[in-house]
Amino acid sequence: MTGAPRLRARLSWFLALSLAAVLALAGMALTFALAQVTETFVVTRMEHDRDTLIASLSAPDTLEQALPRVYRQPYSGHYFQVERNDGEVIRSRSLWDTRLALPSLEAGEQWRSEQAGPQGQPLLVLASGVRAGDAVTIVGVAEDMTELRTTLARVYIALAVLGILTLGALLWLQRRILQGLFAPLMRLQVDTERLIHGELEKLSTQGVPEEVVPLVEAIDRLLGVLSHRLSRSRRALGDLAHSLKTPLTALGTLEGEPELRDSPSLVGRHRAQLERIQRLVDAQLRRARLAGGSAPGRGMALARGVDDLLDTLGRIYRDKQIVVERDVPTDIRVAGDREDVLELLGIVLDNAFKWATSRVAITVGTGETVRIRIEDDGPGVSPAQAGLLTRRGLRLDESAPGSGLGLAIVSDIVEQYEGRLDIVPKGRLGGLAVTVSLPAHSRTILDEDQSSSSSSRRSPRSSK
Amino acid sequence: MRILVVEDDAEVARGLRRDLNAAGFAVDLADNALDAGHLGSEEPYDLIVLDLGLPDGSGLELLRRWRDADNPVPVLVLTARDAWHERVEGFRAGADDYVGKPFHPEELIARVTALVRRAQGVPGGVLRRGELTLDEERQRLHLADDSVVELTGTEFRLMRYFMLHAGQILSKTRLAEHIYDYDHDPDSNVVEVYINRLRHKLGSRYIRTRRGQGYLFDGAGRGDDER
C-alpha cells in the first residue's frame, strides 16, 4: 500500500506546480505585453500631437485649433503646455488653471515622466526641447492614464480568472489521467491481495499497461517458484514421514518375537519409547505439512470435501449405523488448501463418529466467514476438559495414545487460516459440538467495490 | 482364512505374518506390486493387507486394478500416509479399511478379523453358530453343554472357516485353499484328516459330507452324514 499512492501524489504535485508556473509565466508575459502595447499606442498618439504642436509653434494663436477639441475641454484628460524661453507659457484650455511641471530641456532633448494631474489623476507627460531661434521652447503634452489603467486592470482580472479556471480544469483533467494510469496498478494490488488469500491462482496481464506487464509476469513466475518449492518440501516431508514410519512399524513388530515376549517390562519400555517417537514425528510432520494461508490456492469446494469425508467415515464406522444430518450449501468455497481443510474436518468428524451413539450433524452457515458446526450425540466432555482440548502441546505430553482428539492439530490449522475454533462441551445433540469458522473464498470480489471489501474481510486479527 | 500381505519392508512383513499366523490366519507375502497383482488376482484370498508405498508402483494403483477387474476381496490399506485426504483417496480407490503406520499388532488383528467377518456378512462380536461358540482369542470352541474343546492351529482355521460359511457347501479344495498358505501344497486328504479330527472332538453331526461336492456345516447339528 506504500508505493503507488505516494508516487501518484508526487506526480500530481509535480504536474500541478509546473502547470501553475507555466500559467503564471504566461499571465505575466501577457500583462506585460498588454501594458507595453497600450502605452506605446498612447505614447505614439501623444507624440503626434506634440509634433503637431511643434509644427504650429510659429503661429501661437492657432495652437489650440491645430489639435483636437479634446484639448479645449476642461479636465478632459488631454493636455498640452508650451513654455517659451521668454517665460510665456501657453496651456491648453483643458488644463484650466493648473499647469504641468516641465523641466528645462536642451534643444532636441526628450523627456518623459508621470505626474499627478489637475485632479490628482496619474498623467503621462511627454516633453521635448525645440529650438526657436537662439532660444529653446519646451513643448509638453500629457494624457490622463486613469481610464486606460482601469480598463487594463479589468482585463487583467478577467485574464486571472480565466487563468485560474484553466488551471482548475487542467488539474482536474490531470487527476483523471493519473487515476486512469494508476488504476491498473491498484487493481494489481487488489489482485495480489486476493492471491495471498488464495482466491486467485495467478495474476492476469489482461488490461495491464504494457510497461507493467513484465512486473506481472515476474510476480507470476515468483508464484510458480514458490508453489513449486512448497509442493517439493511437502513431498519431501511426506517421504520423510513414510520412511520414518516404516522402521518404527518394524521396531513395533519386534514385540511379538518370542525372545521379547518373555520379558513384558522390556516390551513395555520399548513400546513407550516407540510411541513417544511416533507422537513427536506425527505432530511435527503434520504441523510442518500445513500449507497455511500463504499457499497459492484456489479455495476448496466445501460440499464435495464434506461428502468425500462422510463417505469415507461411513465406511470406517459402517458397523455403528450412524445417521448423519447434513446441511451444507452446495456452492460454498472455503479459502484454504484442500488437504488442510480435509485434515481439519476429517479429525473433527472422525471424533464425532467415534463418540456418537447414533447421530452426527454437520451444519454450515455462511456470511463473512464459513461456519462449520459438527455435533454428535455422544457423551460430550466436561466444561473443564473442553478448555484443555485444544491446548497446544497437550497431545505431546499425553501418555494415553489417541485420547488427545487431535484437536490441537485442528487448532493449529484454524489458526493458520486466521479462523476460529469454538467448542461447546454439551451441544444440541448432547455430545461435543465443535464450530470451525474459516474465511470464505469469494470469486466475485472484482465485481464488488475493490479493496475495501477484501481488506475488511481479511483483516488478520479482527475475527479473533 | 487366508490373507495376502503386500509389504516391501521385510521386517514388518515378517512380524505381520507371525502375528497373523498366531491369530489363525494363513498368510502369503508379496514384497512388490507385480507379485501382489498376480497373487491377488489368482488366489482366493479372504483379505489383503496392502502397503501403499511399494518399490515398483503405487499400492493404490494395484487396488484400482483389482476393483476394475471386479475383484471384491476385502482390502485393508496399511500405510504411513494416513492424512485424511489420503484416506479419502484410499477409500475411493476401493479400500475397505485404512490403518496408519505404525500400528499396534492387536489393533491390526482386530481390524482384520472384523473385516473378514463383515465380508462374510457375519456380525461382529463373538462368533456363534447354533450350539457352537468360537473363542477366537484363545482358539477354542464352547459346546452346547458348556464344555470347552481346545483346537490346534489348523483345526481352529478350519473351524472358523466353517463357522463363517455356515450352510454353504465347501469343497475340499476350497477348504485347503483358505486354511493353507501358498507354500503349503495342500493334499485334500489332509483336509479330510482334519475334518475327521474335528468330528471326533465335537461329534459328527455338525459337519456333514455331501458326496462328490464337499462339506456342509450346521451349528445346530441337525441331520446326518448321508443326506
Same structural domain, A41 and A74: yes
Same structural domain, A138 and A226: no
The answer, yes or no, to whether residue B227 has pLDDT greater than 70, is no
With CA atoms as reference, report the closest residue to B45 among B185, B166, B179.
B179
Residue A9 C-alpha, separation from nearest chain B C-alpha, in angstroms: 50
Of A121, A149, A177, the last residue of a domain is: A149
For residue A249, the chain B residues in CB contact (below 8 A) are 9, 12, 80, 101-103
Phi/psi at A176 (5° precision): -60, -45
Whether B14 contacts A257, CB under 8 Å: no
| CATH code of the domain in which A454 resides | 3.30.565.10
Residue A180 lies in a domain: no
Query: Which ranges of A290-402 would DSSP assign to H, the alpha helix?
Result: 302-316, 338-355, 383-389, 394-397
For residue B103, the chain A residues in CB contact (below 8 A) are 249, 252
Same structural domain, A130 and A54: yes
Task: Work out the angle at residue A130's Cα, subtended by the Cα atoms of residues A128 and A134, and round it to the nearest 5 degrees.
Answer: 145
Q: Where are the domains of chain B?
A: 2-119, 127-217
Residue A433 lies in a domain: yes
For residue A346, the chain B residues in CB contact (below 8 A) are 83-85, 87-88
Helix, coil or strand: residue A143 = strand
User: What's the confidence (pLDDT) of residue A358?
Assistant: 92
pLDDT digits (tens, 9 = 90+) for A198-221: 667 778 878 788 888 898 889 889
Residue A348 lies in a domain: yes
The residue-averaged pLDDT of A413-436 equals 87
Lowest mean pLDDT among A36-45, A368-377, A412-421: A412-421
Whether A428 contacts A375, CB under 8 Å: yes
Same structural domain, A248 and A322: no
Of A289, A312, A328, the last residue of a domain is: A289
Phi/psi at A198 (5° precision): 75, 20
CA distance B11 to A18: 83
DSSP, res A440: B
Phi/psi at B84 (5° precision): -65, -35
pTM reported for the whole predicted model:
0.61
Q: What percentage of chain A carries pLDDT values higher than 70?
A: 86
Same structural domain, A285 and A302: no
Same structural domain, A273 and A325: no
Residue A28 lies in a domain: yes
Whether A132 contacts A84, CB under 8 Å: yes
Same structural domain, A417 and A457: yes
Lowest mean pLDDT among A164-168, A236-240, A286-290, B204-208: A286-290
The residue-averaged pLDDT of A155-170 equals 91
Give the domain extent around A56.
3-149
Same structural domain, A282 and A390: no
Whether A137 contacts A55, CB under 8 Å: no
Number of domains in chain A: 3
Same structural domain, A308 and A456: yes
CATH code for the structural domain at B127-217: 1.10.10.10
For residue B88, the chain A residues in CB contact (below 8 A) are 308-309, 311-312, 342, 346
Residue A391 lies in a domain: yes
Cβ <8 Å between A238 and B81: yes
Same structural domain, A280 and A311: no
Superfamily of domain B2-119: Response regulator (3.40.50.2300)
From the list A243, A312, A318, the residue facing B88 with the nearest CB is A312
- Taking an 8 Å Cβ-Cβ cutoff, which residues of chain B contact chain A? 9, 11-12, 14-16, 18-19, 22, 53, 79-81, 83-85, 87-88, 91-92, 96-98, 100-105, 114, 118, 124
From the list A248, A253, A309, the residue facing B88 with the nearest CB is A309
Same structural domain, A263 and A350: no
By DSSP bridging, strand A420-424 and strand A359-365 are unpaired
First-to-last alpha carbon distance for chain A, in angstroms, is 24
Residue B176 C-alpha, separation from nearest chain A C-alpha, in angstroms: 27
With CA atoms as reference, report the closest residue to A158 among A21, A27, A41.
A27
Residue A163 lies in a domain: no
Q: Which of residues 239-278 of A touch B (CB under 8 A)?
A: 241-257, 274, 278
Of A149, A164, A184, the last residue of a domain is: A149
From the list A241, A244, A346, the residue facing B84 with the nearest CB is A346
For residue B22, the chain A residues in CB contact (below 8 A) are 256
With CA atoms as reference, report the closest residue to A325 among A427, A441, A442.
A427
Same structural domain, A307 and A232: no
